[in-house]
């Protein structure tokens, strides 16, 4: 095992994720809670782009959080950007954070290049 690998513990699954190459990184859902403009708690859960709801359910179980209400706005953000945010009003219970952010991680996706001419070198 290389130094650039780390493990994230999911409910019953331990998945290797590579930071700078080495092993192929599995696609995953990165779930983090933001409190006072800082990441409070976070986890990653293996998933595909199509099964985000199931991965979010598992991540909420791991973080011991209630599941948020997935609205049309969240669906549009997920389809367009591969990420979305849930504010406290998206939960039926009171939550101790300002927002819950989820992001799809795909290491094999082509990297976006800046269109700013100042970065063309």
Tens digit of each residue's pLDDT (9 = 90 or more) over 40-88: 999 999 998 888 999 999 999 999 999 999 999 999 999 999 999 999 9
Q: How far apart are CA 46 and CA 112, in angstroms?
A: 23
Q: Which residue in this structure is represented by tokens 């953000």?
A: 77
pLDDT above 60 (res 5): no
66 vs 17, residue with greater confidence: 66
98 vs 9, residue with greater confidence: 98
Could you tell me which residues come within 8 angstroms of residue 12 by beta carbon, excluding any fewer than 6 positions away?
none
Q: How far apart are CA 70 and CA 48, in angstroms?
A: 17
Q: Are 52 and 105 in contact (CB under 8 A)?
A: no
pLDDT above 50 (res 6): no
Q: pTM here?
A: 0.70
The residue extents of the domains of the chain are 5-108
């Amino acid at each position: 095992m290389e130094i650039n690998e780390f493990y994230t513990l999911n409910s019953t699954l331990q998945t290797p994720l590579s930071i700078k190459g080495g092993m192929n990184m599995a696609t995953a859902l990165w779930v983090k809670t933001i409190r006072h403009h800082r990441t409070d708690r976070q986890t990653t859960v293996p998933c595909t782009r199509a099964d985000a709801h199931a991965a979010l359910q598992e991540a909420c179980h791991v973080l011991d959080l209630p599941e948020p209400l997935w609205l049309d706005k969240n669906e549009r953000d997920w389809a367009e950007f591969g990420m979305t945010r849930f504010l406290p009003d998206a939960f039926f219970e009171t939550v101790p954070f300002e927002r819950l952010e989820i992001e799809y991680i795909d290491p094999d996706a082509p990297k976006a290049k800046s269109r700013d001419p100042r970065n063309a070198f």
